[in-house]
Structure formats: structure tokens, C-alpha cells
Structure 1
């Protein structure tokens, strides 16, 4: 299900890219201790919000206009013990919550009796005597090879691609001991 949703979002983004660039009207992100989140609003009507709490439970929504102009919105939650599920939507059914099933409990088995080990006198084993031979391992010395790459006195720049994302906007950023916040708003 997660792959299907991701594929839909990527498909929508790719379709927008093919028809032209989409201006981001607002982008907000924050981290506050163990919680973090983000929000994005685009000029084509697509919005996305998600927030993760300190227990790693992620909640959020995405919305976009359909071909007939209806605003389609889907709210979700995900996390340990939850998986991914749709909690509310105006165009598809919410994910049903699975009822916990009883877990298989194996029948306890008696512990096996220990196998008796015959006792006998230990047999002495002759061990060879080793006289260590000193080994001389000299540390290799590496002499750097001088490289002469003179820096050119004159450089030319080639014009790069046009920056289509360069439009006026406001950027706010703040940091705290617990995290950070930033907000970009197109002018």
C-alpha cells in the first residue's frame, strides 16, 4: 500500500514536471526534540503535511485537485505496531484495523536428561616447544612525488542551465536547544 501511494505521488509530480515547473508557495519544516514535521503547499493545489511524534507515530495528509476540480484529501497514520493506514479520505475507504489474533503457544516439552559421560584418566598430550624468532618489520617510508599543477591565471565560465526555481520569497529560520524551524513563503 505504501508503495502504491508513493508511486501515485511520484506520478503526479512527474506529470507536473512534464507540463512545466510548479512554484512552491510554502514549505515549513521543524524538529522539536523527538518530534518533527513538514508541510508543503504548491501553486497547482497539491498540499502535503506530516508530523512524527516522539513515539515514532507519523500522522499527516495529502490533498490535490482532481480533473473535475474536486479537492481530494487523504489522512493517514503510520508507525510501529500500526503499519500504514488511511484514517480518513473523501475519495477512498479508510484502511480497516486488523483485530489481534491469538499467538501460537508451543506445548512445553520436558527437558532432556543429561547423557552420562564415561570418566577416564586424561591422556597427556605432548606439546611442541616454540622458540620465537624475532621478526624485523621496518615501517615503510613513502616519499611524496612532487606534482606540478600550476593554477591557470585566467578561467572562463560557461553559462549553466537557467534557474527556474529562482523566484522571490521569504525565509525564516530559528534554532533552539531542542531543534529548529524553518519556513519558506513565496512572495
Structure 2
């Protein structure tokens, strides 16, 4: 009986990762004006979220199940002037924040010294030149367009194709500020 239960548990664990692929439980993406973000949740416990605000600062987290079964989570922020840094984590140290560095300030370019304007040199009037008469170029008839016949060995499928191997619900909405997209496995 123990062997049967153990085999069932092993089979269920192997079936979870079909041919090395992990099922996506939920995937959300959105844009609302200058703010946009996404979230993904997988059946193996991996989650990822990030959001970018109007100033270009990206904040988010990722988490996954470690070898001991503990959920390991790392929160981050990245963007202009701050680079990438870990703000909080339950398995590694946060990135130390350095003192702000002075930003480069471009210096005004030196102004050129004004020079006197050059005076035009008088030119003699142009002399008429011989121009050859145009020679008509004969036009050629266009080449016939070859007719390509369909190869019966190749066939196409009309209409959209399902690229997912498991059922799910897809929601999509648009507004004047952006859009929202949500896929949820059933």
C-alpha cells in the first residue's frame, strides 16, 4: 500500500511539469497612461510582478519555492538615477544605497570670434554652351508575370490556432488611457 501511495505521489509530481514546461496559472498586463505593469503566477509557485511609474521607476518582486520548501521573495526597484537595487529580501541582503552623486552639468560651448564677412568676387557672365538634342530611348514591353501554382503537398489551416495546451479564460479591455489583459487557467 505504501508503494502504491508513493508511486501516485511521484506520478502527480512528474505530471505537474509536462515535458519540462510549467503551467501558467495567471498572467496579467496593463497600461494606464504612463504607468504599466505585469504579474505572472505559475503552478510551481514562481511569481513575478513589476510596475513602472510615470517617472520611469520600476518596482516589483519575484518569488519562488526554495529547496527546503520555503518561499524565497526578493523586492526590487530600478530606474534612472538609482540603477537596480534589492530593497527587501528574505534570503539575501538588500543593496546598500550610496550617497547621491552630483549630476553632470554641461558647460556652455565657447562662442566663436566674429569674422568679417567675405566679399564676393565679380564673375564674368556665363557663355552659352552646346546642348545635345535628346535621343529617344525605345521602351520594352513588360515581361510576362509567371503563374505560380499551389503545391498540394502543403496545406494551411484557416482561422486562429490555439497555442495553449490547457484551457483558460482571457479578458481584455481598452480605455482612452491604455489597456488591461488577464489570462487565468481553469
Residue 32 of structure 1 corresponds to 32
Residue 12 of structure 2 corresponds to none
Residue 176 of structure 2 corresponds to 177
Residue 67 of structure 1 corresponds to 67
TM-score calculated relative to the size of structure 2: 0.67
Structure 2's unaligned 5+ residue stretches are 1-15, 106-110, 157-161
1:83 equivalenced with 2:83 (yes/no): yes
Structure 2 Cα separation of the partners of residues 164 and 94 of structure 1: 40
Structure 2 Cα separation of the partners of residues 137 and 18 of structure 1: 72
Structure 1 residues 55, 104: CA separation in 2 closer, same or farther (over 3 Å shift)? closer
8 Å CA contact 1:28, 1:184 repeated in 2: yes
Residue 20 of structure 1 corresponds to 20
Aligned length, in residue pairs:
162
Structure 1 Cα separation of the partners of residues 120 and 17 of structure 2: 81
Structure 1 residues 141, 20: CA separation in 2 closer, same or farther (over 3 Å shift)? same
Structure 1 residues 146, 123: CA separation in 2 closer, same or farther (over 3 Å shift)? closer
- Give, in angstroms, the shift of residue 38 of structure 1: 0.2
Residue 145 of structure 1 corresponds to 144
Structure 1's unaligned 5+ residue stretches are 1-15, 106-110
8 Å CA contact 1:170, 1:184 repeated in 2: yes
TM-score calculated relative to the size of structure 1: 0.67
Cα offsets for 1:104-159 (capped at 9, x unmatched): 99xxxxx9xx7x99xxx998788986848587797x8782432021235x45559x
